[in-house]
A and B are shown apart, each in its own frame.
Chain A
Amino acid sequence: MPGLFGILELARGSLLAHKLALNVTGNNIANVETPGYTRQRVDLESAPPINSTIGQLGTGVLAVDVHRLRDRFLDERFWRENHILGRWESLEKHLNRLEALFNEVDVKGLGGFLEDFWKGWNDLANNPEDRATRLILIEKARALVETFHRLDRELVEQQRGLSSEIAQKVDRINTLAQQIADLNEKISQVEAGGHQASVLRDQRDLLIDELSKIVDLKTLEKADGSVEVLLGSRSLVYGGKANPLVLKLTSDNGGVSKVLWGDGRALEPSGGELKGLIETRDELIPSFQQDLDRLAKGLVTAVNQLHRQGYGLDGSTGLDFFDPDGITAKDISLSGEITSDPSKIAASSDGNPGDNANALAIAELRDSLQMRKGTQSFSEFYNSLVAAIGAKRQEAGLQRESAELLVNQIENQRASAHGVSLEEEMVNLVRFQQAFGAATKVVTVVEGMIAAVLNMV
């Protein structure tokens, strides 16, 4: 049978338990804006009873556990979807820049300069004898050639920028992997003691959140509390060990870097920002470059072939207009003989200065179906390249939007399950405060009772 001091002991337990609960509530409130923080709860249990003659008597309350309220399933859903958002976001960002390069709505681009070039030939056909018209044609051809060069340079520069961005991402993956591995080790140490390592788990989840946007990953939680992170079928993090990725320059890929595992096997990400970057650098940009090269080659070949058949004002014939060796967007250039003496431009077919038949034939290449196996003119070919870039950019935007919607939705569900609600915490604050106050009341009463007993002596 407990004495008065037993009741004091009980009240002390209650004070302690509710102080602890207040502590956790206060901590929740303090972390209302902390990224990745999961609200925590104290589990209160009634203390083991003692047997008395009238039956079991309670001995107060015990705070048995502090743990976080986390829904693992929502986390896994988030990690499964986040890489899709990452991939489209990075594609959209880079396609935006590519699109701007080819956007001719406001400024003149390759399409406009190509039109100008044909106009130059048309004007020459109207004035084959005129020297000024020839000089203008050369300027127009120069502008066209320089636009090819500029586009090629910008594409190459963008590829270079992508390579360094890939390097940064790989760096970040390695850092995150190492941090996750370190946390794995600490968590399994702490949890071996039987209690959840809430704060460490919050930190680890936040790191996986970030990682899941860069690459598509799978996670497996082990019994010791550690998490294995898999990229494809290989583990990036296993327990306390991280397997860092490396970058390797390869010659077979145009001198760009490839992402490899430590043992030399290639990493082929199927999602995430890394995938978006690699895709843009190794698939999209090369396909645009190839189209530009095709256009340059088609142009040089067709113009030269006709040009060689005509005569210049000085009777020269058999000359090329473009340098026949420059058949890429990078190398296309005008023939030196033509630029140093514009009278060598072969407008004439019969050798007379007033004859414009050859200039007409070249001007008519504008409408001639020279590209895509004789189905498109040069300009149509270029226009469909621009439209294709626009379509890719549009698709990336739409996909990003729908991925964002999904990720936001899961994010909301997570915030709903894991986040701190100040209203709730305020109610708890009042609840625990009152319980605490009531416990102090018990102490006061028992104290009075003890004093009364002592006064009896």
Chain B
Amino acid sequence: MRVTNGMITSTFMRNLNRTLERLYRYQEQIFTGRRINRPSDDPSGILTCSNLQLKIRANERFIENLDDALGWLGYTENSLNRIQSVLTRAKELAIQGGSDALPPTQRGALAEEVDQLLEHLLTLSNSRFAGKYIFAGTRTRTPPYQAQRDESGRIVSVEGTGDASGTIQREIGPGVRIRINIKGKDLFEGAFNTLVDLRDGLQSGDVSAVQDAMDGIEETMDRVEASLGWVGAKVNRLQEARDRLQAENLDLFAVLSSIKDADIVEAIANLQREQTAYQAALAVGEQLLKFIQFWK
């Protein structure tokens, strides 16, 4: 082939440019740590990556929702335990007060304590988690229970302010919703009146009223126990779901990284190879130019 001077310089420049372009690519990979820096680097790879990222972010959101649900349920469990202690104490007092042998003055003291328990139960029924009434159904901004008091300030009766039956849910998987609230209606049905009856029975020495109240207390305690069981089971289930989502995200991150990230060792090896090629090309170019210079 006839080789002309123009060919030598233009071919040299083209090759040098191509080497530089590859150098740039590997350098970019090393700097960003990514194999894919723009969609055209690997269009099907970027599609897989962005859909994986969607999945990862959705899981992160479900984990957040689970944390929120676990917080709510933990607080509910705590409140239920305290309600149970109130009821346990009330039951003890009813047993003591149900005995005919007890002098009336002591009964009066018991009645006083039951009154305290009643106040306590009212406070617990209006428990708030992060500002929301947890036993109010979906009327989370209104205290679900309200007391009627006599002129001395004693509770005469406690009424529900609404039906307190709405369901509060959290999304813990794609389209999977779970209920996190216990409806106050299920829990406190008749509980307040039982305690009012107990207090008044103790006060007036009406032993049969005290004994009747004890049945009511036990019934409520059964309901609280059932709710505690429900909460416990739910907490376990949610914790498992949370662990599973976290494990899944670890796997997804690994897959994502294997598609998206550069193999740094390989990239550095490639970079060095291109550097060598570039330096060799420059050295050859120098010789070539000297050679052409010679004629001129």
Quick one: which of A357, A367, A415, A419 contacts B175, CB cutoff 8 A?
A367
From A233-241, A262-270, A376-384, give the one contacting chain B. A376-384
With A and B bound together, what is the CA distance between A422 and B64 in angstroms?
A: 76
A122 touches B171 (CB 8 A): yes
**Knowing A355-B138, A421-B2 touch, does A122 contact B61 (C-beta < 8 A)?**
yes
| B51 CB–A CB distance under 8 Å | yes
Q: Is B36 part of the binding interface, using a Cβ–Cβ cutoff of 8 Å?
A: yes
Please indicate the chain B residues that have their CB under 8 angstroms from the CB of A122 in the complex. Answer: 61, 64-65, 171
Does B7 sit at the interface, judged by CB under 8 A? Answer: yes
Q: Does B137 contact A (CB under 8 A)?
A: yes
Contact residues, B271-296 vs A (CB, 8 A):
292, 295-296
* CB of A40 to closest CB in B, whole Å: 14
Whether B243 sits at the interface, judged by CB under 8 Å, is no
Q: Given A352-B137, A416-B2, A416-B4, decide whether A363 and B38 contact each other with a Cβ distance below 8 A.
A: no
Which residue of the partner chain A has the closest CB to B7?
A: A415
User: By the criterion of a CB under 8 Å from any partner CB, how many residues of chain B are at the interface?
Assistant: 54
Indicate if the CB atoms of A103 and B166 lie closer than 8 Å. Answer: no
Tell me whether B43 and A394 are in contact (CB under 8 A): yes
- CB of B47 within 8 A of CB of A354, answer no
A92-113, CB under 8 A of B: which get 1 and which 0?
Answer: 0001000110111110000100
List chain B residues, Cβ under 8 A from A348: 138
Known interface pairs A32-B5, A115-B54, A354-B132; A102-B39 also in contact (CB < 8 Å)? yes
On whether A360 and B40 interact (CB within 8 A), knowing A412-B11, A421-B4, the answer reads no
B166 to A350, Cβ gap below 8 A? yes
Asked whether any CB of chain B lies closer than 8 Å to the CB of A60, the reply is no
B101 interfacial contact with A, CB 8 Å: no
With a CB–CB cut-off of 8 A, which chain A residues contact B168?
354-356
Of A50-58, A299-307, A385-393, the segment with at least 4 beta carbons within 8 Å of chain B is A385-393
A325 to chain B, nearest CB (A): 30
On chain A, the residues within 8 Å of B3 by CB distance are 416, 421
For the complex formed, measure the closest distance between the CB of A338 and the CB atoms of chain B, giving whole angstroms: 21
Residues 184-209 of B, flagged 1 when their CB comes within 8 A of A and 0 if not, give 00000000000000000000000000
Q: Given the complex, which residues of B lie within 8 Å of A258, measured CB to CB?
A: none
Interface membership of B152, Cβ < 8 A: no
Closest partner residue, chain A, to B50 (CB atom): A383
- Return chain A residues, CB-CB under 8 Å to B38: 99-100, 103, 105, 390, 393
Please give the distance in Å from A82's CB to the nearest CB on chain B: 16
0/1 string, B134-149, CB within 8 A of A gives 1: 0011111100000000
Minimum CB–CB distance from A34 to chain B (whole Å) comes to 9
Interface string of A387-428 (1 = CB under 8 A from B): 111110110010000000000100110011101111100100
Q: Are A408 and B4 touching (Cβ within 8 A)? A: no
Q: Is A289 located at the chain interface by the 8 A CB criterion?
A: no
Min distance, Cβ A202 to any Cβ of chain B, angstroms: 14
Is B85 an interface position by the 8 A CB rule? Answer: no
What's the nearest-Cβ distance from chain B to residue A93, in Å?
13
Contact with B136, one of A111, A354, A363, A389 (Cβ below 8 angstroms): A354
* Contacts A125-B170, A393-B40 known; 7 new A-B pairs at CB < 8 A: A106-B37, A126-B65, A356-B169, A363-B171, A384-B47, A387-B50, A393-B38
Q: Point out residues on B near A: beta carbons under 8 Å.
A: 1-7, 10-11, 14, 32, 34, 36-44, 46-47, 50-51, 54, 57-58, 61, 64-65, 68, 130-133, 136-141, 166-171, 174-175, 177, 292, 295-296
